[in-house]
Amino acid sequence: MKILLFNTLLIWTVGLYAQQTDYAKLRPTVMVMTCGALDSGIVNTSLRNLLALDTSGIKKNMYMYYEDLGQCYWLKSGGEEGSYYLKLSIATTRKALYHNPESSKALWNLALAHTMNGDCDMGKSYMEKYKLATKKKYWDEEQIRLLFERCSI
């Protein structure tokens, strides 16, 4: 009961604060962070906090909100091809690109999600956009190779 009351108060406070703020400043109060492995409780709490947030007053870094929401949906999907949450992850992460078309995180996540969902052409398209938006020194060539090995199966 105390946790529910605390979360309700936190969301209400964050909602009021969001009327005039930058999502990057709100993010630590919305997302549950951990140094260890993420479990379903942490993902569900972050997702619940994100969905309860009144985003109408957020003026800066809205793309980060959609990146976080898409990431939570991705984690809930478990990368399962065709799953409801994987489809939500893709749709939500595309909204991040509406607010910041060169978001490296969103482009990477869309390449990953589309490829895991069996759409290698779309995955490769987003990977090319990622490479255009991201300095080469930050590319993880091994991860990219492993991701697209799925496409040759």
Choose the final residue of a domain: 29, 60, 91. Answer: 60
| Number of domains composing the chain | 2
Show pLDDT as tens, one digit a residue, over the chain (153 residues): 556 555 555 565 555 554 568 999 989 988 887 666 667 888 899 999 999 999 988 989 999 999 999 999 999 998 888 899 999 999 999 999 999 999 999 999 999 999 999 999 999 999 999 999 999 999 999 999 999 998 876
Alpha-carbon distance of 63 to 66, in angstroms, equals 5
Per-residue confidence (pLDDT) for residue 3, from 0 to 100: 64
Alpha-carbon distance of 17 to 10, in angstroms, equals 10
Per-residue confidence (pLDDT) for residue 37, from 0 to 100: 61
What is the widest separation between alpha-carbon atoms in the chain? 51
70 and 56 belong to one structural domain? no
Per-residue confidence (pLDDT) for residue 79, from 0 to 100: 85
Range of the domain at 82: 66-153
140 and 125 belong to one structural domain? yes
State the Rg of the chain over Cα: 17
Choose the final residue of a domain: 40, 60, 80. Answer: 60
93 and 29 belong to one structural domain? no
Per-residue confidence (pLDDT) for residue 104, from 0 to 100: 96
Cross-strand partners of 22: 60
Tokens of 93: 């992460």
76 and 53 belong to one structural domain? no
81 and 135 belong to one structural domain? yes
Q: What is the CATH classification number for the domain harbouring 140? A: 1.25.40.10
